[in-house]
Structure 1
Amino acid sequence: MRRYNSLGDLPLGGPRRVVAIGTFDGVHIGHQAVIGRAIELAAERGLGSMALTFEPQPIAVLRPELRPAVLTHIGFKTQLIERLGVDELLVVPFTRAFSRIRAERFAEMLVAPPVGADAVVVGENFRFGHQGSGTVEMLAQFGRSRALVVESPRMVTSPDDKPVSSTRIRRLVATGQVAAVIPLLGRMHSVEGVVVPGDGRGRTIGLPTANLEIPADSALPSRGVYAGRAVLAGGRSAAAVNIGVAPTFTASDIRSTLRLEAFLLDHDGSDIYGQTMRIDFIERLRDEKRFASADELMAQVRQDIDRTRELAARPPGDPTA
């Protein structure tokens, strides 16, 4: 897959394409259906396929106070989209100036060089142009006048007949329901960051942990203990993950930010400081709590580790495994 980081990066005079358009935060199964249909349509028409997305999310620019947590930052989003088999990815920088483009002008941009769309595929609730004035119906009407095929697959729903959306997934993650989002994402929810030094307390009790520094806008599960997998450049390991403030060792449960600490069950002890690590969340195990002693904490942690090993040994059935 070839990635372009702006419209200006696209070569002029390129081939016609079938373009899937969306923010695609999470690249959940609904997004996969939109991109997958674009790939199918491109094959039917003998053309290449492209996913067009925006960075950052439009709402983060238009209404910063309502900026949602990010399910997939652009690096991981790129990997997930590439795995779907699309030929190209166009990442359009979303700015206030871009937001003021009229809907009609945006539609013209799609059919004109350098995008050169022969067909577009969008979600049912797709809006575009200044103040979101453009609708799927408007785009379809424009398409009929410009020989542009416009398709909008029906919204994907979960078995309980609820629409699959990034907003719904964020809410589940925020309340720690990480197992519930696996069928909606088609994989485990993940966060990624850099391994940084911690206070070293885990090492003193025989449980050295990797402290992960993640982007502040990441969709972090709620405070608690989770079974997961840690993914590093050199491999992966089952991981018992604590998100919280380590109340057993602190005088107060109040801190400005939560910490993410992962005990890697099968790590060989090598230095991983400064490395990028991804945590894939399998299941929430329990609340974080204050224990009366370090020994009581250790007894519980051993149970957490046993349960993590059991869960991590199951076939995950997702592309991040």
Structure 2
Amino acid sequence: MTVFHRNETRDPLPEALRGGVIAIGNFDGVHRGHQSVLDRALQIARERAIPALVLTFEPHPRTVFRPDQPVFRLTPAPLKARILEGMGFNAVIEYPFDRQLSQLSPHDFVDSVLLDWLHASHIVTGFDFHFGKGREGGPAYLMAAGEANGFGVTLVDAFRDENTSVVSSSLIRSMLCEGDVVGAAGELGYRFTVEQEVIGGKQLGRTLGYPTANMQLPPEAGLRNGIYAVRFRRADGTLHDGVASFGRRPTVDANGAPLLETFVFDYSGDLYGQVCSVSFFGHLRDELKFDGLDALVAQMKRDDEEARALLSGVRPLSEIDLRLCF
């Protein structure tokens, strides 16, 4: 699969990708609601034997309009593209979102992006999709534009979970802020996963018998501090179970920056500089301050045992989960 970045040179889309079915949306999280839109686009593309593409926007619009309040991204662009590739899309279009694009009229967006550049034959999006200056382009406008310009439009209704709640990225973020990674997985359809470069630390864990792979998550990451049962994927694709701590290490370094520190089971090699991923299967406990290192190590042993027990019985939730975590 190819990821295309629309740029100022207006490079044409390759001929083989023109005239396809385009799923449009931000799709942060690629959760079950998003998947209902994306699956419909894939179905139409298969029926017509034409390409299936995703048109999304980078950075997240809220980052442009409220840079002082960056959004907690559930799936940063590289991870999102990999999930979409696994679903079967031929390409992801990462269209640069800036204030200039936000001022484009709905008419100009349809003309310059959907028609002149993508040569779209069919558009699939959520029922509440709005676009163009002041969000003036809505579902009715898009349907009329399709009729006038010869492309089809499919609007997909809101997806509700088993509790009849509408699945949304905001709901999932709130669950992760509470440490409810099991609930978040139910809404996502796969285990919440982060991906970062492994960096050096103070190597205290190594002296305690628990060497960790350390990652610095973005400051806006809203994951609750605590201890988690996780699955760790190395850069070469190899998977390991593990136990991870996210927080400020109150027993040894309460003033340090938040770190995700993963003790990777049954692995002793060098991971520094590798971009690895961590998938969260269960929240074991909150971060605690212990009365000395002996008490901390005793608790770490209990955490190790609990994580191993939890992970021994896990099963994939979906095809996406299978590809990410199994």
TM-score bracket, shorter-length normalisation: over 0.9
Per the TM alignment, residue 167 of structure 1 is displaced from its structure 2 partner at its CA by: 1.1
Is contact 2:216–2:258 with CA below 8 Å preserved after alignment? no
Number of residue pairs the alignment of both structures matches: 316
Aligned to 2:279: 280
For 1:149, the equivalent position in structure 2 comes to 152
Does the 8 A contact of 1:178 with 1:221 survive in 2? no
In the TM superposition, 1:1-321 aligns within 5 A as 1-6=1-6, 8-11=10-13, 15-217=18-220, 219-234=221-236, 235-250=238-253, 253-255=254-256, 257-267=257-267, 269-317=268-316, 318-319=321-322, 320-321=324-325
Unaligned runs of 5+ in 2: none
- Checking the alignment, whether the CA contact within 8 Å between 1:18 and 1:41 is kept in structure 2 is yes
One-letter amino acid of the counterpart of residue 33, structure 1? S
CA–CA distance in 2 between the matches of 1:9 and 1:314?
49
CA deviations over 1:169-225 (Å, ceiling 9, x no partner):
1111122111111121111111111111111111111111111123334x3411111
Counterparts of 1:95 and 1:53, CA distance in 2: 13
Corresponding residue SS for 1:247: coil
**1:191 and 1:220 in contact (8 A); partners too:** no
Give the match's secondary structure for 1:117. Answer: coil
Deviations 1:61-102 (A, max 9, x none): 122234311111111111000011012211101111111110
- After TM superposition, the score normalised by the length of structure 1 is 0.93
Deviations 1:137-191 (A, max 9, x none): 2211222222321111111111111111111111111221111111211111111
Q: After the TM superposition, which of the residue ranges 59-68 and 240-249 deviates more from structure 2?
A: 59-68
TM-score, with structure 2 as normaliser: 0.92
1:105 deviates by 1.2
Instruction: Give the aligned CA root-mean-square deviation in angstroms.
Output: 1.7
Q: Secondary structure at the residue paired with 2:251?
A: helix
Aligned equivalents of 2:193 and 2:222: distance in 1? 9
The 2-side partners of 1:292 and 1:151 are apart by 60
After superposition, the C-alpha distances for 1:247-267 in whole angstroms (9 at most, x for unaligned) are 1224xx444x31211111121
Q: Is the 8 A contact 1:210 1:262 kept in 2?
A: yes
User: Is the deviation greater in 292-301 or in 178-187?
Assistant: 292-301
C-alpha displacement at 1:111, in angstroms? 4.3
Give the 3-state SS of the residue equivalent to 1:229 in structure 2.
Answer: strand
Alpha-carbon deviations, 1:264-319, whole Å to 9, x = none? 1121x111111111110111000111112322212211111111112222233123
Secondary structure in 2 matching 1:83: helix
Q: Are residues 264 and 12 of structure 1, via their aligned partners in 2, closer, same or farther at CA, if it must alter by over 3 Å? A: closer
Q: Which moved more, 1:294-303 or 1:70-79?
A: 294-303
Answer yes or no: is the 8 Å Cα contact 1:12–1:114 preserved in 2.
no
Percent identity between matched residues is 32
